[in-house]
């Protein structure tokens, strides 16, 4: 690693996590420097980010949009395009840490290239681990690379794990806000609209993960993420509903002690911790105000109204090709819901069907997983209730 500020590349700088990462960089500008940013659709914002941070590289990942992209006011910035541009950015000698914040399995290639280049990964893109967890973790181990979680639950677990030894952990408990439909009856869930699903009670996030939170597929994906990131068997992973989103997750040790990490729901904290690790820095994240009364509730999840959770447990247990199929089916079904083609409850029903009839492979390689990802997306387009 170079001395002086850490050199950061952000994959997906125009998204919710990308923008919060830049807030942290602004607040910690003596410790962090932006070397590269990437964006896919909102190129006006990408230009403004480039003008502010003057990175060495700006990547327009949509090759069609790149053809007409003009970047003014950045004389030292090289503009690259497509996946090749992302790979060129993450393999640069001067990049120390890559924030993987593209949404969906579209983030897998860039994250993979960054690991192969030996870069520390701050991983927001959970779909990478859901799709190819065992291969990605093996690759990181082969290259001696740290994968530091940005997902708030996994960051909490990562922090609480520092209180004991791995073999002393009896289970991890992922907290879930429960989303906007936590108290909806099964019948009411049938009539959920796009606007309802996009209004999350505690977190301000991109549209895909916001819908995932409403179906609780987000928690399913996080069960799978925890399975691979921490090498835990499924019987050691639990979920509890905690609507206030203050306790971000917990680790229970064999003596019964539970260690929890608490902070207001603000992604700047886990993003910053992944970039400052192993240090802690003062930063821009909001702090809990203990002079005001507040309460924290915990409820068991309802697996009947939110069957996505069962899918998550099953896929984490079976592994192999299941993660790639579930993830891609869900991405495509969420897109179908947001286009008005699928009803809210059909998102999880369609994922269940496609998972059930896919050709299970216990040990797929990366190319097979990418092919399965494509297959599952097409199956969703053909799916009928």
| Three-state secondary-structure class, residue 15 | coil
- Given the rule CB under 6 A, which of 9-17, 70-78, 132-140, 246-254 is the region that contacts ligand NAD? 9-17
- Given the rule CB under 5 A, which of 29-37, 52-60, 144-152, 185-193 is the region that contacts Mg ion? 144-152
Binder of residue 179, out of ligand NAD, Mg ion, none (CB less than 5 to 8 A by kind): none
- Given the rule CB under 5 A, which of 45-53, 109-117, 152-160, 324-332 is the region that contacts Mg ion? 152-160
- Given the rule CB under 6 A, which of 16-24, 138-146, 286-294, 312-320 is the region that contacts ligand NAD? 16-24
The reply on whether position 205 binds ligand NAD by CB under 6 A is yes
Residue selected from 14, 39, 151, 342 as contacting Mg ion according to rule CB under 5 A? 151
- Residues numbered 164 to 223 that lie near Mg ion (CB under 5 A) are none
Distances (CA, A) of 116 to 7, 121, 275: 17, 11, 19
Give the CA dihedral 178, 155, 288, 16, nearest 10 degrees: -70
Residue selected from 69, 203, 253, 360 as contacting ligand NAD according to rule CB under 6 A? 203
- Least Å distance between CB 169 and ligand NAD? 22
Q: What's the rounded Cα separation, in Å, for the pair 377 and 326? A: 10
Nearest to 250 by CA among 158, 124, 149: 158
| CB nearer Mg ion, residue 57 or residue 285 | 285
In terms of DSSP bridges, do strands 78-81 and 97-100 run parallel, antiparallel, or are they unpaired?
unpaired
| CB nearer ligand NAD, residue 89 or residue 260 | 89
| Three-state secondary-structure class, residue 9 | strand
- Least Å distance between CB 6 and Mg ion? 24
CA terminus-to-terminus distance, the chain: 53
Residue selected from 7, 9, 18, 260 as contacting ligand NAD according to rule CB under 6 A? 18
Q: What's the rounded Cα separation, in Å, for the pair 210 and 206? A: 6
- Residues numbered 266 to 325 that lie near ligand NAD (CB under 6 A) are 267
How many residues bind ligand NAD, per CB under 6 A?
25
Helices (H), the chain: 16-27, 43-53, 63-66, 82-90, 108-116, 126-142, 152-160, 186-189, 194-197, 207-215, 217-229, 268-276, 308-318, 322-338, 344-356, 366-382
| CB nearer Mg ion, residue 153 or residue 379 | 153
Binding track over 54-93 against ligand NAD, x by CB under 6 A:
-------x--------------------------------
Point out which residues pair with 8 in neighbouring strands: 34, 97
Tokens of 31: 């410790």
- Given the rule CB under 6 A, which of 39-47, 63-71, 112-120, 338-346 is the region that contacts ligand NAD? 39-47
- Least Å distance between CB 26 and ligand NAD? 17
Nearest to 197 by CA among 227, 226, 171, 217: 217
Tokens of 9: 């590349």
Q: How many residues does the chain have?
A: 385
Binder of residue 15, out of Mg ion, ligand NAD, none (CB less than 5 to 8 A by kind): ligand NAD
- Least Å distance between CB 253 and ligand NAD? 26
Q: What's the rounded Cα separation, in Å, for the pair 189 and 247? A: 27
Residue ranges that bind Mg ion, judged by CB under 5 A:
151-153
């Amino acid at each position: 690693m170079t001395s002086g500020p850490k050199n950061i590349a952000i994959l997906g700088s125009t998204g919710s996590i990308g923008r919060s990462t830049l807030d942290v960089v602004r607040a910690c500008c003596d410790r962090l420097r932006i070397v590269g940013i990437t964006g896919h659709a909102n190129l006006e914002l990408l230009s403004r980010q480039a003008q502010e941070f003057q990175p060495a590289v700006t990547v327009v990942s949509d090759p069609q949009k790149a053809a007409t992209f003009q970047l003014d006011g950045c004389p030292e910035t090289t503009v690259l395009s497509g996946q090749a541009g992302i790979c060129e950015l993450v393999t640069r000698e001067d990049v120390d840490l890559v924030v993987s914040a593209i949404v969906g399995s579209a983030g897998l290639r860039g994250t993979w290239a960054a690991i192969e280049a030996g870069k520390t990964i701050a991983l927001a893109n959970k779909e990478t681990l859901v799709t190819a967890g065992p291969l990605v973790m093996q690759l990181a181990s082969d290259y001696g690379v740290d994968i530091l979680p940005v997902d708030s639950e996994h960051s909490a677990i990562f922090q609480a794990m520092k209180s004991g030894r791995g073999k002393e952990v009896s289970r991890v408990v992922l907290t879930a806000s429960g989303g906007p439909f936590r108290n909806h009856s099964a019948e009411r869930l049938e009539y959920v609209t796009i606007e309802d699903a996009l209004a999350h009670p505690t977190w301000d996030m991109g549209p895909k993960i916001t819908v995932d939170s409403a179906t609780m597929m987000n928690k399913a994906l996080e069960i799978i993420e925890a399975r691979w990131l921490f090498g835990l068997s499924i019987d050691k992973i639990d979920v509890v509903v905690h609507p206030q989103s203050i306790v971000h997750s917990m680790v229970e040790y064999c003596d019964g002690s539970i260690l929890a990490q608490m902070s207001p729901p603000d992604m700047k904290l886990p993003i910053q911790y992944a970039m400052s690790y192993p240090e802690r820095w003062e930063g821009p994240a909001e702090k809990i105000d203990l002079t005001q009364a507040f309460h924290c509730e915990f409820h068991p999840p309802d697996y009947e109204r939110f069957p996505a959770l069962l899918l998550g447990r099953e896929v984490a247990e079976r592994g192999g090709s299941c993660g790639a199929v579930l993830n891609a089916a869900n991405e495509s079904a969420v897109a179908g819901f947001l286009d008005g083609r699928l009803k809210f409850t059909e998102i999880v029903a369609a994922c269940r069907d496609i998972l059930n009839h896919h050709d299970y492979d216990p040990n797929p390689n990366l190319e097979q997983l990418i092919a399965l990802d494509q297959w599952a997306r097409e199956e969703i387009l053909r799916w009928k209730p």
